[in-house]
Amino acid sequence: MTQTVLDELDWRGLVVQTTGRDALAEALAAGPVSLYCGFDPTAGSLHVGHLTQVLTMRRFQLAGHRPVALVGGATGLIGDPRMSGERVLNDEEVVAGWVESLRTQISRFLDLEGPSGVRLVNNLDWIGRMSALDFLRGVGKNYRMGTMLAKETVARRLASDEGISYTEFSYQILQGIDFLELYRREGVTLQYGGNDQWGNLLSGVDLVRKTEGVDVHALTTPLVTKSDGTKFGKSERGAVWLDPDLTSPYAFHQFWLNSADADVVKYLRFFSFRSREEIEALEEQTRTEPFRRAAQRALADEMTELVHGADAVRQATEAAAVLFGRGDVRALDADTLRAVAAELGVIEAPGSMTLADAAVAAGVVESKSAARRAAQDGGLSVNGEKVAAAALETPLEQVDALAEGHVLLRRGKKNAGMVRRVG
């Protein structure tokens, strides 16, 4: 049988379950397939965990298939039930704003024109117009309670003290409606999503079969995990967002750069668009020369360029050099300096504050006496230049500050802080 995108996804470890691999492979080999994946707006930005689905859609598109990206303006008002606890229902205006933000983000990764151009849709356009009678007569009669109650999340919630509301219980039906509607509107015959969505995907497969008499397909991708058991997509500061205002390009680059040797090749397969030969070469280098961290650098550079652009890779690299005491802070442009400041955190200080007090305020030293000792030992610097103990009483207003009044203070290579002169 002809090699298809499914074989590529298999090699990358991106296929967990399908409704029938042979039938799906045959459909993909026969010609362009219309497929969709849904994204519920639970925040104003996607995070790195969403990249599994977004970039899988890109792989289908590059193989000539026709993707539909659904942002759930309706399902986002309800919320897919979690293993524990009811979701808080967000205001309609808030969710509508999140829908537009996610549509913009998703469209950046996909081609919008041509025969394989992505279609961006919102399920509020059809679910929002559906009456209660339409819902019950046209859709509800096709669902059996036993099947719905057997779903793992539902069963666990029913067994808990808190139970589950009918609102969240109905979510699986809404996702089934999406598949049916997109089959009718766009000829969609494949839905994919994370492996935790398997039950919801089957809801749509069954609904299309019962109402249209057609067999359609479902595929799940793995839930990304880290080898140490901690959650993928989390940093010390929380979720790693695709929005640069929420996670700076520097922090984004560092997230990938800090990938463990045990994880980095898996991440390259999941997220990178490098060839099999390139990834296998990086895998071998990780095994034989792990100290070079070649795979981590390749991953961090590619993902940062993909999400934030090539200039962000340069900024992240230069910012890292300064933060780790290797680069010239005065050589940084204003955007990169802001990235350094954002990473360190900035203390605003009046121009009358002395360097000694500024070093204490920025957390570089514990006290003014500690600042003097560090300066005497040659270990205290201001904007990359060592400062003498006698100069510690110099007010900030007399210091040759960086852009926007920033002053970088450092003790050794590991202790750095930033103050911004105001007034």
Domain coordinates in residue numbering, the chain: 5-221, 234-339, 345-422
pLDDT at 225 over 60: yes
pLDDT at 8 over 90: yes
How far apart are the C-alpha atoms of 378 and 372, rounded to whole Å? 10
How far apart are the C-alpha atoms of 40 and 47, rounded to whole Å? 12
Asked if residues 173 and 149 have their Cβ atoms less than 8 Å apart, the reply is no
pLDDT at 395 over 60: yes
Q: Which CATH number fits domain 234-339: 1.10.240.10, 3.30.2350.10, 1.25.40.10, 1.10.274.30?
A: 1.10.240.10
Mean pLDDT of 193-221: 96
How far apart are the C-alpha atoms of 81 and 168, rounded to whole Å? 5
Q: What share of the chain is helix, strand, coil (3-state, %, to 5)?
A: 55, 15, 30
Among 107-116, 322-331, 332-341, the range of highest mean pLDDT: 107-116
pLDDT computed for residue 2 by the predictor: 58
Residues facing 119 on adjacent strands:
68
How far apart are the C-alpha atoms of 249 and 336, rounded to whole Å? 9
pLDDT at 347 over 60: yes
Which of 134-138, 165-169, 233-237, 341-345 has the least mean pLDDT? 233-237
- According to CATH, the superfamily of the domain at 5-221 is HUPs (3.40.50.620)
pLDDT computed for residue 241 by the predictor: 96
pLDDT computed for residue 124 by the predictor: 97
Which of 233-237, 278-282, 367-371 has the least mean pLDDT? 233-237
The beta strands (E) that lie in 163-208 are given as 188-194
Percent above pLDDT 90 for the chain: 80
Non-local CB neighbours of 90 within 8 Å, separated by 6+ positions? 76, 77, 98
- pLDDT class of 59 with cuts at 50, 70, 90: very high
Tens digits of residue pLDDT in 306-315: 999 999 999 9
Tens digits of residue pLDDT in 69-103: 999 999 999 988 888 888 889 999 999 999 999 99
pLDDT at 274 over 80: yes
Mean pLDDT of 212-225: 97
pLDDT computed for residue 64 by the predictor: 97
pTM: 0.89
End-to-end CA, the chain: 72
Mean pLDDT of 318-342: 86
Mean pLDDT of 116-131: 96
Side chain identity at 30, as an amino acid letter?
A
Asked if residues 407 and 361 have their Cβ atoms less than 8 Å apart, the reply is no
- pLDDT class of 116 with cuts at 50, 70, 90: very high
pLDDT computed for residue 323 by the predictor: 86
Q: Which CATH number fits domain 345-422: 3.30.565.10, 3.30.420.40, 3.40.50.300, 3.10.290.10?
A: 3.10.290.10
The beta strands (E) that lie in 51-92 are given as 66-71
Q: Tokens 């919320």 correspond to what residue?
A: 79
Fold match between domain 5-221 and domain 345-422: no
pLDDT computed for residue 342 by the predictor: 84
Residue-averaged pLDDT of the chain: 93
